[in-house]
A and B are shown apart, each in its own frame.
Chain A
Amino acid sequence: MTDFDTLSLWVAVPVGLLLVLGSTLTLLGTVGLVQLKSFYDRLHAPTLGTSWGTAGVLLASILLFSALDGRAVLHELVIGIFLLITTPVTLMLLGRAALHRDRAEKVRGIPPARARGDAGSDG
């Protein structure tokens, strides 16, 4: 912990704020996952954590370690980019699977599939 003692206040304050911001958003997302009623609503909740939640923590990490090492430590950006690209894939797959199932089981309140030119007959 000795490293952190030498940290100047100008760095420590923004790092702390970013960390609090990121973790709070992630927590909120998790609470939402439990609280929200329908599956489609719940899909949105974790995105809080994967967007600004991650970004806050990562920015904090960049700031902190850049200040500590005295050079630009940027490889957290790679983590951010990959998370940004890949999490939508999961959510999309989950959403489409749920939609397909609900349509197949004729759950009420689910909009019907749109007619598509290339798919020939539909619906």
Chain B
Amino acid sequence: MIEQNLILVLVMLPFLGAVITATLPVNAHNAAAWISGLVLAAGLALMAVFHAPVAEGRILRGVVQWVPALQLNLSFRMDGFSWLFVTLVLAIGVLVVIYARYYLLKTDPVPRFYSFLMAFTGAMLGMLLSGNILLLVVFWELTSVVSFLLIGYWYQGQAARDGARMALIVTAIGGLCLMVAMLILGQIVGSNDLDRVLGSGDLIRAHPLYPLVLALFLIGAFTKSAQFPFHFWLPGAMAAPTPVSAFLHSATMVKAGVFLLIRFSPALGGTEAWFYAVTGTGMATLILGAVIALFRHDLKGLLAYSTISHLGLITALAGIGSKGAILAAIFHIVNHAVFKASLFMAAGIIDHETGTRDMRRLSGLMRLIPLTGTLAIVAAAAMAGVPMLNGFISKEMFFAEAVDWHNGTWLDNSLPYLATFASIFAVAYSLRFIATVFFGPPPVDLPKEPHEPTPWLRRPVEALVLICLVVGMMPGTTLGPVLNQAARAVLGPDTPHFDIAVWHGFNLPLQMSLVALLMGALLYLVFARQIAAGPEGPPLLHRIRAQRIYERLLLALSWRLPRLLHQRIGTEKLQPQLRILVLLALTFAAAVLWRQLAYATEPLANPLSPAFALMWLVGAACALGAAWQAKYHRFAALVLLGGAGLMTCLTFAWFSAPDLAVTQLLVEIVTTVLLLLGLRWLPKRREEIAEDQMLSARLRRLRDFVIAAAAGLGIALVSYAVMTRPLIPNIGDWFLRNAYKEGGGTNVVNVILVDFRAFDTFGEITVLAVVGLTVYALLRRFRPATESTNQPEQQRGEAAAALQDYLTVPGVILRWMFPAMIVVSAYFFMRGHDLPGGGFSAGVTLAIAFLVQYLGSNVRWVEARLTVLPIRWMGFGLLIAGATGLGAGLFGYPFLTAHARYVDLPLIGQVPAATAMLFDLGVYALVVGATVLMLIAIAHQSLRSARLRDQDTPEAESKEAA
């Protein structure tokens, strides 16, 4: 039990560290480094506790329920393989933290660096330990996101931003593929549990979807592990600070892909497709990386391509998939992490001390920084695979697998030759690194005079190089047991014990190694001069760069194609957009209802009342008149529209729907006034305009008339069909029966809105808030047509004088009405739960109260006396509604569960006190805020254009004077 909790602690620790370091002051270098280091060291201590049970072959688990419905739980498991990997990550992490403490400049912001580093470690641990394949994807994506932040740490530089974005795009695309693969895997197996997936290899391999799963899975793993052709993001990520490179590209980020390959090889591996895809890609990457690395002049570029190459080696081993190959792959993961981290750190020191990473400028540093030089030489020798160093042994095992293992395919037959070929280049680039940087004539014209760095910057390198040496000389006693544990955890308990020894006799792998060493040295010695003089990349191949292809693709996909599409099928005009919208709606409605629209045999109907018919006649006349006048007499059209709205309102009242009638009336008022304010800014249409009378314009209008008539008739037909159907028992009856019993209110409409369907309402008010903000944002940058920017006729010349005080009396009366309207609004709100009213109508009422103030006096006058902060109203509205919903959670109920009761207040009597009322208060505030925000956005137009006019006039006058 204690182990279960400790695993959870282990995963949470780095995230805790991230939170703590994020809150530190910007220059707290020591504190941040200590906290991060201690967090990682505590993690290592936990790993020591776990060692004993893991060594027994047990699998430790820790589970917390998260989303059980999706079979997605915070389930973590630790076996020998993940134990080794986690230990590696934590150990390198500690060293990286020490290194970073002395590497970062005094001015670099500390919290960002360490908190991202901690978060990344946490994501990595989560990925390694997750026992649920969906959880694994979650952490996988988290590593992508945090690595983006880490690579872009020095975001002031273009290279860092580009590199970070490229890494994110490539790895996130891979992550997406991986997610799909995992979802399909979960479906095939019937469980998302990692153990069950790993145990169902035969089932998965026999499934028809296996090729798809394999392809998606491999894209995910290859993008992360920078395998060809997705390798190009890794060199771009070298713009990151060196500690980040040392961490990401040695032990963590890029190893996640190979971790996944090895972890899932029992489930997905063992087929020919797997072998070809994985080993083929691995070998291609191995060779490509090694060849390109030799030709890079940038120190970190060389290391980056060498990393790609070594990842290819591990991938190839995972593709071979024999027991020895898996063991070798795990071994090489560890070895590569150790020597590559130390090399990155050494490169960082060189960069730090000399001010350049260009190998053509560096030379003879051995005399100036002998200690760092020695360390770097040993690490580079390990990278080259020199005997008695750790890189040699795992490379030997790779050669052995390449030679010994057979399945008879052409790829298998060529493996030894390809491996040797790549190794030659590996030796050559390692040699180039050593020879150019540390030997040769003393450096000239360096940006800085190199000195040995502070000892603590070197300590992590020293530790790592020591590991290189110890493991290289005593592999069996140091890493042997844990490696065998890890291999057993991957391959199953019947895996034989492998003896890892330095000396296997003068066998074929050793001969291959020797050939590679000799040929590599020869290659470098012969071509050293040409390489230094040549371009940044291998001859002929340097013109074809995957990064450039990626950039072209990105440009085409994210810039050209969208713009082309926008140009072709987009329009900025409102009319065509609306036309398309209406036509689409018409088409789909017609397609759905064609031959399906049936009318009730006995239409449900009331006897016709003459008064009602008369009312509707008026309403219909208003509506038709509005449409008729809309072109040249917008104001008349608006008035008529108001008439039609009023008739709708009366209809609701007629049919005993007071709630709807109230709402309709209020909404009608607001829309009419807002439209009226908007009309001011539309350019006038005059009948004299000649184009309006031409045939094409007439035809266009005729077409629009037909569309409008068709849409209107369609709606009428559908409404008629729906409303004349016989009544059937439906959900409405349930609401009527239960509104009081369950919701505690007699106003069923309101109870539905704030209780039964509160979640819908919550969504709707959110949309309303978004709409309000959108209108505001659009109108802030709105420039009215030139015809309407001038002052209206009524504000100019004589008219202005005559009409100066025309609103004095109405203004005063509207001011008197203000408190009364607030009372009405409060009244609507308070009685909403039981009688017509409620938060929405109350909110609109209050908004109307503000609205009429703006109408009755001028904007400046109102705003000098009355401050409405609509954004805050909206914000508080959403907060209140959301908090009420969450409040239910405190009592153990689902989101937005309402509670209703009556409270006895002295003097007033029984008062309903439902939590729904609080929710309604949120609705109320939000409606007020959104409506007033739109109002203010429109009202301020007149202020703004007045200001614009003021700016324009002096200029115009000065021009005239000149």
The residues of A with any CB-CB pair to B shorter than 8 Å are: 82, 85-86, 88-89, 92-93, 96, 100, 103-104, 113, 116, 119-123
19 pairs, A vs B, C-beta closer than 8 Å = A82-B817, A85-B816, A85-B817, A86-B817, A88-B809, A89-B809, A89-B813, A92-B809, A92-B810, A96-B806, A100-B794, A100-B799, A100-B803, A100-B806, A113-B802, A116-B801, A119-B801, A122-B801, A122-B802
> In the complex where A85-B816, A85-B817, A100-B794 touch, is A93 in contact with B802 (Cβ < 8 A)?
no
Q: Which residue of B lies closest to A119 (CB)?
A: B801
Query: What separation, in Å, do the CA atoms of A109 and B799 have in the docked complex?
Result: 19
- Return chain A residues, CB-CB under 8 Å to B802: 100, 103, 113, 119, 122
Complex: how many Å from CA A100 to CA B807?
A: 13
**B814 CB-CB contact with A under 8 Å:** yes
Question: What 10 pairs across the A-B complex have the smallest Cβ distances?
Answer: A119-B801, A89-B810, A96-B806, A113-B802, A89-B813, A85-B813, A122-B801, A92-B809, A93-B810, A100-B803
Asked if B804 is at the interface of the complex by the 8 Å CB criterion, the answer is yes
Interface assignment of B445: CB less than 8 Å from any CB of chain A: no
- Bound-state CA distance A120–B802 (Å) is 11
**Cα separation A75 to B452 with both chains bound (whole Å):** 94
Q: Check: B820 CB closer than 8 A to any chain A CB.
A: yes
Give the docked Cα–Cα distance between A2 and B814 (Å).
Answer: 43
Q: Does B688 contact A (CB under 8 A)?
A: no
- A88 vs B812: C-alpha distance when bound (angstroms): 12
Per the bound structure, the CA–CA distance linking A120 and B804 in Å amounts to 12
Residue from the list B804, B809, B814, B817 in contact with A119, Cβ < 8 A: B804
> Which chain B residues lie closer than 8 Å to A89 at the CB level?
809-810, 813-814
Residue in chain B with minimal CB distance to A89: B810
Query: Is the CB of B957 closer than 8 A to any CB of chain A?
Result: no
Query: Across the interface, which residues of B come within 8 angstroms of A86, CB to CB?
Result: 813, 817
Is B798 among interface residues, defined by CB-CB distance under 8 A? yes
Q: A100-B799, A104-B793 are in contact. List 15 more A-B contacts (CB 8 A).
A: A85-B816, A86-B813, A88-B809, A88-B813, A92-B809, A96-B803, A96-B806, A100-B794, A104-B799, A116-B801, A119-B802, A119-B804, A121-B801, A122-B801, A122-B802
Please, how many angstroms separate the alpha-carbon atoms of A96 and B799 in the complex? 12
- A85-B813, A85-B817, A89-B814 in contact; A122/B798 too (CB < 8 A)? yes
Complex: chain B residue closest to A103, CB-CB: B802
Across the interface, name the chain B residue whose C-beta is closest to A122: B801
In the bound complex, what is the Cα–Cα distance between A92 and B41 (angstroms)? 83
CA distance A93 to B810 in the complex (A): 8
CB-CB < 8 A to B813: which residues of A?
A: 85-86, 88-89
Shortest CB–CB separation between residue A104 and chain B, in angstroms? 7
Distance in Å: Cβ of A70 to nearest Cβ of chain B: 19
Question: In angstroms, how far is the closest chain B Cβ from the Cβ of A73?
Answer: 17
In the complex, how many angstroms separate the beta carbon of A2 from the nearest chain B beta carbon?
A: 20
Contact B798 A123 (CB under 8 A): yes
Chain B residue contacts of A96, Cβ below 8 A: 803, 806
User: In the complex, how many angstroms separate the beta carbon of B208 from the nearest chain A beta carbon?
Assistant: 76
Question: Contact residue range for chain B?
Answer: 10 to 19
Chain B stretch 525-559: residues in CB contact (< 8 A) with chain A = none
Minimal beta-carbon separation of A11 from chain B (angstroms) = 28
Q: Indicate if the CB atoms of A120 and B801 lie closer than 8 Å.
A: yes
What residues on B are CB-neighbors of A82 within 8 Å? 817, 820
| Complexed CA–CA distance, A77 and B814 (Å) | 19
CA distance A28 to B814 in the complex (A): 29
**Min distance, Cβ A81 to any Cβ of chain B, angstroms:** 9
Give min CB distance, B634 to chain A, whole Å.
16
Separation of A68 and B636 alpha carbons in the complex (Å): 46
A123 cross-chain contacts in B, Cβ below 8 A: 798
A96 and B806 CA atoms in complex are apart in Å by: 7
Rounded to whole angstroms, the CA-CA distance of A89 and B816 in the bound complex is: 12
Specify which of A82, A119, A122 lies most central, judged by the most chain B CB atoms within 10 Å of its CB.
Answer: A119
Residue among B793, B794, B802 with most chain A CB within 10 A: B802
In the complex the two chains form, what is the Cα distance from A42 to B453 in whole Å?
99
A120 to B813, CA, bound (A): 27
Measured in the bound complex, the distance between the Cα atoms of B806 and A100 in whole Å is: 10
Residues of B within 8 A of A113 (CB): 802
A92 to B816, CA, bound (A): 17
Q: Bound state CA distance, A49 and B813, in angstroms?
A: 21
Q: Which residues of B contact A122 (CB under 8 A)?
A: 798, 801-802
Compute how far the CA of A119 lies from the CA of B805 in the bound complex, rounded to whole angstroms.
10
Complex CA–CA separation, A82 to B824 (angstroms): 12
Query: In the complex, how many angstroms separate the beta carbon of A54 from the nearest chain B beta carbon?
Result: 17
B673 to chain A, nearest CB (A): 14
Complex interface: chain B residues within 8 A of A88 (CB):
809, 813
> Which residues, 790 to 830 on B, are CB-close (under 8 Å) to A?
793-794, 798-799, 801-804, 806, 809-810, 813-814, 816-817, 820
- What distance in Å separates the Cβ of A117 from its nearest Cβ neighbour in chain B? 12
Q: Which residues of A contact B817 (CB under 8 A)?
A: 82, 85-86
Q: How far is the CA of A104 from the CA of B804 in the complex (A)?
A: 15
The interface residues of chain A lying within 8 Å CB-to-CB of B798 are: 122-123
Q: How far is the CA of A96 from the CA of B798 in the complex (A)?
A: 15
Q: Which residues of B contact A92 (CB under 8 A)?
A: 809-810
The minimal Cβ–Cβ distance linking B860 to chain A, given in whole angstroms, is 19
Q: Compute how far the CA of A116 lies from the CA of B806 in the bound complex, rounded to whole angstroms.
A: 14
Residue of chain B at shortest CB distance from A85: B813
Distance of B810 from chain A, by nearest CB (Å)? 4
- In the bound complex, residues from chain B placing their C-beta under 8 Å from that of A119 are 801-802, 804
| Nearest CB of B to A118, in Å | 8
B803 partner residues in chain A, CB cutoff 8 A: 96, 100
CA of A104 to CA of B810, assembled, Å: 23
Q: How far, in Å, is B815 (CB) from chain A's closest CB? A: 11
B855 CB to nearest chain A CB (Å): 10
Cα–Cα distance between A104 and B793 once the two chains are bound (Å)? 10
Residue of A nearest to B801 (CB): A119
What's the Cα separation between A86 and B814 when bound, in Å? 8
Q: How far does the alpha carbon of A85 sit from the alpha carbon of B814 in the complex, in Å?
A: 9
Which residues 95-122 of B have a CB within 8 angstroms of A?
A: none
* B799: A residues at CB distance < 8 A: 100, 104
Measured between beta carbons, the chain A residues less than 8 angstroms from B809 are 88-89, 92
